[in-house]
Structure 1
Amino acid sequence: MAPMLGVLGGMGPAAGAYFAYRLALLTDVQSDQEHLPVLLINDPKIPDRSEFALGRGLSPMPAMRRNLQFLESSGCSCAVIPCNTAHYWYPDLQMSVKMPLIHIVSSVVENLHARGIDGGRIGLLGTPATVNSGLYKDKLTNAGYTVLPYTEDDVLQLCVRPIQAVKQNRLREAGTALADSVRVLYDRGATAVILGCTELPIAHASLSQEALELPVVDSIDSLAVCALNHFRFHVKQPNVR
């Protein structure tokens, strides 16, 4: 059986589809037939990850586990979850299947190193659950980085505004809000800014190059590159739009 990547999407729906799009664009091939086979489940009915992580709402774990097991039983030999907050449950999700799950935060750390950013102060943009859970902070600290501190108002103004705009398909507004947030973090001394929610790369893609000249580290591209490397596919230059 040919190798096949499983993608557990739907968190949000545009993020899963956008991951598949970026995976195809980042693959260095000459024909359709040379691409990596992908099976995408785009399940928007999975309960809200941030709400449950913050002590509210239903657990998303049963639906995520069920979808991953379906991907594995359908022939996938490796899987990714293009949702940063979902990785709060990564240990339990990995235990639910035999195939490896590529960790999105680990892929971002690899991206930082690949770009020659081996230390410094990191600005993180993500959901409140991702920012407050330590999901990124722990791995970045262990890798020698310092994460810029946030107030509760910072999370609402810098992170939630562009994420919610993407979820509501207001992409121009999302891009403007994201550009403002990135500039604030660089003004505070960030060496790099991580788009630590998979809705944020969609907002970033809506901007012209002139609208945001500051570099960002894209968690969707990071995850796609790691998936291609896992299957030994050649990768085009990341961040090609």
Structure 2
Amino acid sequence: MTSGPRTATGEIIGILGGMGPAATADFYAKLVATTPGTSDQDHLRTVIWSDPTIPDRTEALLGDGPDPTPWLLHGGRVLREAGATVIAIPCNTAHAFVPRIADHVGLPIVHMIGEAARHLTTLRPRIHTVGLLATTGTVRAGLYQERLESFGIRLALPDAAAQDAEVMAAIHAVKAGTRDDTATALLTRSAQRLTEQGAQTVIAGCTEIPLGLPADAVEVPLVDPALILARALVCRARAAGTAEQDDGGAMYCTQYVT
């Protein structure tokens, strides 16, 4: 039996991205950084479909824009035809539409929000209250509320005014390519209010938020679901490699897969 990274397997990661492009690029950088290895050959084979024409997910959920499901379904099929064996979607709000495509793309989808919720249950001391910074679409769809409540974790949210004037304003700024002190100050202010509500950790529940909010700007741990998703994909690929090479894998990854 050999030791070391087990990523040269039949597993091919398909990234369904473009929501937005900077967040997709950041996610791939996290996937690379999370993969252990000393050479190119140790890394994961990856197919990226970055489609920024996918309609805005929050607008769709609020009834102000077209349904992005056809675009997401098409992207999933493009990834499958390109050889992907599993799909990752580095967009929190897009997960509201995953149930509509999961049975039609022909590939498993590793669920970023499910992975983040499971991660929170592993933290010690035990987490009872979590703050969430996310798009209004993610909040309204209850994507984190539903999963965290099943674990007995209370969710603290910004009030309506802060959600619009701080969180969404900062997200739009990052999407527009503006990563300055103003966006950071807005997100920091909202995060501070969440800690005042008792949040023991804050979820960066939009993949643009880590681009505008450094972890050290928050007085409690900042949980990045995109990073957790990257780690889950690496674990999955390495487990597959162990199983292929060792006739039964000495590694097991608990995952939320649709």
TM over 0.5: yes
For residues 28-177 of structure 1, the aligned pairs below 5 Å read 28-116=36-124, 118-172=126-180, 173-177=182-186
* 8 A Cα contact 2:200 2:221, kept in partner: no
Please state if 1:19 is matched with 2:27. Answer: yes
Q: TM-score, normalised by structure 2?
A: 0.84
* 8 A Cα contact 2:158 2:194, kept in partner: no
1:176-225 residue CA offsets vs partner (Å, 9 max, x unmatched): 22222212211221111101101011113xx484x445321111111111
* Root mean square deviation, CA, Å: 1.9
For residues 160-199 of structure 1, the aligned pairs below 5 Å read 160-172=168-180, 173-199=182-208
Distance in 2 (CA, whole Å) between partners of 1:132 and 1:64 is 20
Give the stretch that moved more between structures: 120-129 or 154-163: 154-163
Letter in 2 for 1:203: G
Note the residue ranges of structure 1 that are not aligned, 5 or more in a row: 235-241
Change over 3 Å in CA distance of 1:106–1:29 after alignment to 2? same
Please state if 1:229 is matched with 2:226. Answer: no
Letter in 2 for 1:139: R
* 8 A Cα contact 1:166 1:202, kept in partner: yes
Distance in 2 (CA, whole Å) between partners of 1:112 and 1:31 is 32
Distance in 2 (CA, whole Å) between partners of 1:174 and 1:91 is 32
* 8 A Cα contact 1:201 1:219, kept in partner: no
Between the aligned residues of both structures, percent identity stands at 35
Which residue in the other structure is 1:239 paired with?
A: none
Distance in 2 (CA, whole Å) between partners of 1:121 and 1:189 is 6
Change over 3 Å in CA distance of 1:198–1:114 after alignment to 2? same
**What's the offset of the Cα at 1:99?**
1.3
**What's the offset of the Cα at 1:147?**
0.8
Letter in 2 for 1:214: V
SS of 2:129's partner is: strand
* 8 A Cα contact 1:6 1:71, kept in partner: yes
Following TM superposition, where does structure 1 have runs of at least 4 consecutive aligned residues deviating by more than 6 angstroms?
none
* 8 A Cα contact 1:118 1:144, kept in partner: no
Distance in 1 (CA, whole Å) between partners of 2:121 and 2:115 is 10
Change over 3 Å in CA distance of 1:208–1:140 after alignment to 2? closer
Structure number with greater Rg is: 2
Distance in 2 (CA, whole Å) between partners of 1:159 and 1:137 is 18
Alignment length, in residue pairs? 231
Which residue in the other structure is 1:200 paired with?
A: 209
Give the stretch that moved more between structures: 121-130 or 173-182: 173-182
Distance in 2 (CA, whole Å) between partners of 1:128 and 1:19 is 21
Which residue in the other structure is 1:237 paired with?
A: none
**What's the offset of the Cα at 1:2?**
3.0
1:54-88 residue CA offsets vs partner (Å, 9 max, x unmatched): 11111111111001011011111101111111011
Which residue in the other structure is 2:251 paired with?
A: none
Change over 3 Å in CA distance of 1:208–1:8 after alignment to 2? closer
